[in-house]
Amino acid sequence: MNRTFSLLSLLVLLLGGAPLPSRAAEAAKPAAITRIDPTFWWVGMKNPKLQLLVHGPGIGASTASLNYAGVTLDGTQKLENPNYLLVNLSIGTDAKPGKLPLEFKGAKKVKYEYELRARTTPGDKSKVQGINSSDFVYLLMPDRFANGDPSNDVVKSLQETKLDRGQMYARHGGDLKGIEDHFGYLKELGVTAIWPTPIVENDEPKTSYHGYALTDFYAVDPRYGSNDDYVRFVQRAHQQGLKVVHDVVLNHMGTSGYLVKDAPAKDWFHQWPTFTRSNFRDAAFNDPYVSQSDRKQFGEGWFDQHMADLNQTNPLVSTYLIQNFLWWVEYTGLDGYRVDTYTYSDRKFLMDWGKALLDEYPQLGMFAETWVQGTAQQAYFARNILPEVDGFKSNMPGVLDFQLQYAINEALTRDAGWTEGISKLYYTLQADWLYEDPARNVVFLDNHDMSRFFSVIGEDLAKYKMGLAWLLTVRGTPQLYYGTEVLMKNYSNPDGKVREDFPGGWAGDKVNLFTAVGRTGPAAEAFTYVSKLANYRKTHPVLHTGKLMHFIPDGGVYTYFRYNDAGETVMVMMNTNKDEKTVDTARMAERLSGYTAATDVVTGATLTDLKSVKIPGRTAWVLELKK
């Protein structure tokens, strides 16, 4: 047996997978095809090239042939593992949908009908609508939102069959049907786009619910539904005026996946003599003084023991990933991608991946997770005005704006200072000059990896409203984490309760916060506040595309305006002090000139004196200016 292949087999054994068969043993088996990725494809794609990864015992010893009008076999390629064969095709503009007859000759002849479909996205405006600043994105964890189909709670063919809502890291049973059952709730709230954490198969033995250790790039996790269910889910969301964001992982995959257990070659994944975790220091990516060992560990270290780190410098891996994410868009008509752990991937691959997707789907919405320190570092991973660094110039349209998330939390938890407290919001927004278009960024208060916003601000409802007012009026696309609208709380450590079930998502729940009857007291007040402001935002483009002008915070009060050429102006004033403040607005004349009154868009109250404004403590006003 090849020594390097033995090392890979040993690695997989250490990680709990099945041993890789030897070359000699596989060569003795008759060829059979267990799967081909992509599972099917389309005629009429802008890029005519298609690379099929064919898997089956001993298939690498086969030769391939086909006879299909408009499709050319460009050749095959053997891989280190004899259980794989790459088949390269060119699909001409004259090719028609149908069954592509592939024939493999080895120990025996094997035929496979590969499906070429007609495209559905071109010309259908309901598909691939994109995600932009007019949207209000709702992030949820499918396993924790609602259980619409108890029949798929346990799938015995998968490794994790335990269902226990009493344990945070066990499966709870939520699914796609549960989300769909509450489309009406989301629309009432003012949501326009749904972002579920990954819905692809995670056949891992433990904590498979979170979705970030996928084991099959081409399959929906059956505990959420089938592939067809997901296609229908996207269609029905669109019919209800809701877009869908698909959460993707480029950097790694679960070690229980067939591509890890029976790896095509040792260089499909980053290999280390012993398990080596990433140092998680994104600064190594572009640090001019970085040691190569630090950079290597950041980009090639594994995220966790059950998350094999993909080697995207391998052009075959790169092609596999690019084709997969083109496939999901064309197959489902989804509207956007949120890219997990974006900063950890190979830089050339990131540019190739982004270009391939946007060349095919220019309208596709894309934003990346950039959990980094510093606005310049964050801007580096988005389209920016910065020079190219080591051959990398990001083409990612927008990012999750962690810097503003840090800033709003500081504004509501620290006293105002020259750069501290509310001033941090000002200085963070001031750095928007680094981006090509900061409006493409996604702003948020918390997410599934962070302590919940309501807990961070000390369960203070007044501060909560200030945070939501900021979220729904500042530049960019706002994202809300499920349950924030009904004051779900808790901290990310030590017990993971930031991922608790949404009350009312399961039959027999004592409290149902999906209904107005179930929402009482502060939870009802919070929901009403978010709903009023979000629905106002939905119908007022000035908060989507309007310009932003802000005034340096003074005495703990921060004021900014959203305005456009149509004469719409919204004034946002935030008083982070405990006490009432009187604000002399003379220095804001360039935005207030011509306006004589304002209406609070949440309460409907009218403000008639815009020259000397008295704003209560711990208050944010969202005011529509009137002439």
**Domain stop point among 539, 564, 584:** 539
Which pTM was predicted?
A: 0.94
Residues, the chain: 627
Confidence of residue 11 (pLDDT cuts 50, 70, 90): very low
Grouping H, G, I as helix, E, B as strand and the rest as coil, residue 161 is coil
Q: Kindly report the CATH number assigned to the domain that includes residue 573.
A: 2.60.40.1180
Domain containing residue 163: CATH number: 3.20.20.80
Among 41, 45, 21, smallest CA distance to 102 is for: 41
Q: What's the pLDDT at 267? A: 97
List the catalytic residues. Answer: 340, 369
- Both 511 and 557 in one domain: the answer is no
Assigned domain for 51 exists: yes
Q: How many domains does the chain have?
A: 3
Cβ partners under 8 Å of residue 598, min gap 6: 571, 606, 607, 610, 623, 624, 625, 626
* Residue 613 and residue 479 in one domain: no
Domain range for 79 is: 3-118
Q: What is the pLDDT of residues 158-204, one digit of tens each?
A: 999 999 999 999 999 999 999 999 999 999 999 999 999 999 999 99
Mean pLDDT for the chain?
Answer: 94
| 326 phi and psi angles, rounded to 5 deg | -70, -40
pLDDT of 15 higher than 50: no
Q: Is residue 315 part of a domain?
A: no
pLDDT value of residue 56 = 96
Write down the pLDDT at residue 318.
98
Domain end residue (candidates: 539, 554, 572): 539
**What is the structure's pLDDT at 7?**
37
Separation CA 424–CA 159 (nearest Å): 47
Q: Is residue 531 part of a domain?
A: yes
Whether residue 507 sits in one domain with residue 449? yes
Asked whether the bond before 553 is cis by omega within 30 degrees of 0, the reply is: no
The pLDDT value given to residue 107? 81
pLDDT bin (cut points 50, 70, 90) of residue 493 is confident
**Which pLDDT band, with edges at 50, 70 and 90, does 25 fall under?**
very low
Query: Both 44 and 164 in a single domain?
Result: no
Q: Do the domain assignments include residue 95?
A: yes
Confidence of residue 31 (pLDDT cuts 50, 70, 90): low
Q: Assess if residue 123 is contained within a domain.
A: no
